[in-house]
Amino acid sequence: MGTIKLSREALEHNIDIIAHQVGGKDKIAVVLKDNAYGHGAIMIAEAVSNYGINQAVVRLEREADEISEFFENILILGDQPHTPKANFSYVINSLEEIEHFPKGCRVELKLDTGMHRNGVALGEIEEAFLQMSERGLNCIGVMSHLRASDTLSSEWFWQRRNFDDVKDKVLKLGEKYGWKLRFHLSNSGGIFRSSSCSDDMVRAGIALYGCLEMERTLPQPNLKSVLSLWGNRVATRILKKGERVGYNGIYEALEDEVVSTYDLGYANGLDRLASNRYSTPEGIALRGRISMDNAIFSSDKDELLIFDNANDYAKVVGTIGYEILACLDKDLKREWI
């Protein structure tokens, strides 16, 4: 199969920018869910830990287990405890979930400030605190999630205001139940929407990996893509003028052309919609239809750069860089450069 190459220099460059923006690396929690957006969770965890980051965010408890040794606290967004550890905290997304968490479990309460996907309603905060206390849980934080931080609209402002407006109430409830709370709202886009960080923590996801896209009228941080995808040559041939290549022969050579098969396909994360439409950063055209395990390019290079920024590939297929990264085959070789 092909190879994913990760740039340590780009990763550290991005952390530097985020740390400067929020007032220090101690405020950064790195989002490593879904195999660190396809980058390789353990590799990224070790690298950011060596940099001095001590907070992480994942979706599942098993993901937290994989990286547990690297962080002081790991926030688990969408799972309930199976084997809770001292450095795990779990998000409570609804009142109904509270009864499923064991006594003594460290939790963080999610508020619905306007995204309306999950989280307790603002009018349910007191009830949530009461139920968590009666359950014997240890609430260490209160959070929410922005639905439009990367677009120019009023939505970032009113969600920010909704979150800030309940902080005093939440702090008093925390004191009542003996809990010291942290607050966090900002995702990658939210990090760059304000010149100061009023929360205790930010959750850096796509910005960490250098693929944040903000609308042109918004701040444009000078981030660098961490991941590049490379294919290895399997076979080369001369495609004669008029010959067609690949399934259904959707590409026909206009003249004699050297083409090679590379060891990547849609099973490895190359979206099939890019078939016959994509060119690499070096201007090398993808010829014909992407197969499950192979793709054909107008090249005879032994190793071919497929993309060095997932957003560029995503535009060709009409999606976002997040999806391209998250769908990269976990079994692909990953290495630092």
What domains appear along the chain, each with residue ranges and CATH number? 8-204 (3.20.20.10), 227-336 (2.40.37.10)
pLDDT of 85 above 90? no
- At 193 the pLDDT is 95
CB-based burial of residue 253 (10 Å sphere; 0-12 exposed, 13-18 middle, 19+ buried)?
Answer: middle
pLDDT category of residue 149 using cuts at 50, 70 and 90: very high
CB-based burial of residue 179 (10 Å sphere; 0-12 exposed, 13-18 middle, 19+ buried)?
Answer: buried
Mean pLDDT within 72-88? 93
- At 82 the pLDDT is 86
pLDDT in tens, 213-237: 999 999 999 999 999 999 999 999 9
Q: Distance between CA atoms of 34 and 24, rounded to whole angstroms?
A: 26
- At 174 the pLDDT is 97
Average pLDDT, the chain: 97
pLDDT of 43 above 90? yes
Three-state DSSP class for residue 47:
helix
Tokens, residue 301? 């290079």
- At 201 the pLDDT is 97
pLDDT of 84 above 90? no
Tell me if 304 sits within 8 A of 231, measured CB to CB: yes
- At 122 the pLDDT is 97
pLDDT of 136 above 90? yes
pLDDT in tens, 153-183: 889 999 999 999 999 999 999 999 999 999 9
pLDDT of 120 above 90? yes
Sign, CA dihedral 220-223-224-226, equals negative
Produce one character per residue of 85-114: b if its CB has 16 or more CB atoms within 10 Å, e if not.
eebbbbbbbeeebbeebeeebbbbbbbbbb
pLDDT category of residue 285 using cuts at 50, 70 and 90: very high
- At 83 the pLDDT is 80
pLDDT in tens, 177-209: 999 999 999 999 999 999 889 999 999 999 999
Tokens, residue 322? 């997040």
pLDDT of 117 above 90? yes
- At 162 the pLDDT is 97
Positions annotated as catalytic residues are 33, 247
Which amino acid, 279? S
DSSP string, 114-157: S--SSSEEGGGHHHHHHHHHHHT-EEEEEE---SSTTSSSSHHH
pLDDT category of residue 67 using cuts at 50, 70 and 90: very high
- At 166 the pLDDT is 96
pTM: 0.95
For the chain, what percent of residues have pLDDT higher than 90? 97
Nearest by Cα to 41 from 68, 72, 2, 16: 68
Q: Distance between CA atoms of 64 and 41, rounded to whole angstroms?
A: 10
- At 211 the pLDDT is 98
User: For every residue of 244-263, which 3-state class applies, written as one string?
Assistant: EECHHHCEECCCCEEEEEEC
pLDDT in tens, 26-40: 999 999 999 999 999
Mean pLDDT within 287-311? 98
Tell me if 210 sits within 8 A of 223, measured CB to CB: yes
